[in-house]
Amino acid sequence: MDRQPVTQGAQVVGRVAAILRVVSGNMPRGMGTTEVAITTGLTRPTTHRLLTSLAVEGFVDRDNRTGLWQLGPELYFMGVVAAERYDISDLARRSVRALAAETGESAFFSARRGDETVCLIREEGSFPIRSFVLYEGVRFPLGVASAGLAILSFLPNADAESYLDRLNLADRFGHQHSSGSLRGRIAATRANGYAVNPGLIVHGSWGMAAVVFDAMGQPNWALSLTGIESRFTAERRPFLGRLLLEHAHRLSQRLATGVGT
């Protein structure tokens, strides 16, 4: 059997998936062709050819004024259908709004997708100074940002170790994200129950998160708070951590029992 067409087909699918992910992570601004090529590691001609083909099918759209690529209407229609199986946004939104109201900080709900987290919901708090590290659609590897650290910390130990052995996050995010440093933060997260990101992505922008478990007990989502460093003092962090854990526990229970779904 000739396996070459199968291999080539898988390669094309992988490239298309990479393009859609990076464009999704830069919504609503969109991305230029060269920017997509650099981010995905593809050549510019290949990137342009695939983007043009995706546009014909409605999976991406190009702003005629800016020349930037954005997600297309076909993905919206597919997402509406897929939401019947995967979407828990209505349940999560209640928790996100409550956290923002109770703390004054920006609150978020993120989902695990493979080796990454994807921010799905953002709710601004009342405090006037905000952090803009997280926004809907942005992706981070597990272990980067508080949501990803929370999820990574509560994966089975063998899965977490395998992940740390496979990826070198320090090259992209700095020495604070070396495997050794991450293991230390994982241990602290397991001990506290919640994750803390002490300004490791953007200086002065702190985050905290608690994991949300699915009906099988898997850590597939996280609730998080972000804000400036002065709002995450050692005296206040236990209070924020308790709130995150309370809301995450309630949401996990609702998912496990189907109550409120």
pTM of the model: 0.69
pLDDT of residue 247: 96
Query: What whole-number distance in Å separates Cα of residue 164 and Cα of residue 179?
Result: 6
pLDDT of residue 215: 83
> Yes or no: is domain 4-77 CATH 3.10.20.30?
no
Question: For the segment 75-87, what is each residue's pLDDT rounded down to a tens digit?
Answer: 777 766 665 555 5
Question: For the segment 9-54, what is each residue's pLDDT rounded down to a tens digit?
Answer: 788 888 888 888 888 877 778 889 999 999 889 999 999 999 999 9
Tell me where in the chain the CATH 3.30.450.40 domain(s) lie: 88-257
Tell me where in the chain the CATH 1.10.10.10 domain(s) lie: 4-77
Percent residues over pLDDT 70 in the chain: 89
Q: How many angstroms separate the first and last alpha carbons of the chain? A: 48
What are the backbone angles phi and psi of residue 73, rounded to the nearest 5°? Answer: -65, -30
Tell me which fold the domain 88-257 belongs to: Beta-Lactamase (3.30.450)
Joined tokens for residue 234: 């050692």
Most confident residue range from 76-85, 103-112, 252-261? 103-112
Q: Which residue has the higher pLDDT, 155 or 75?
A: 155
DSSP assignment of 169-210: THHHH-GGGSHHHHHHHHHHHHHHSSEEE-SSSSTTEEEEEE
pLDDT of residue 143: 94
pLDDT over 50 (residue 1): no
Joined tokens for residue 205: 């922008």
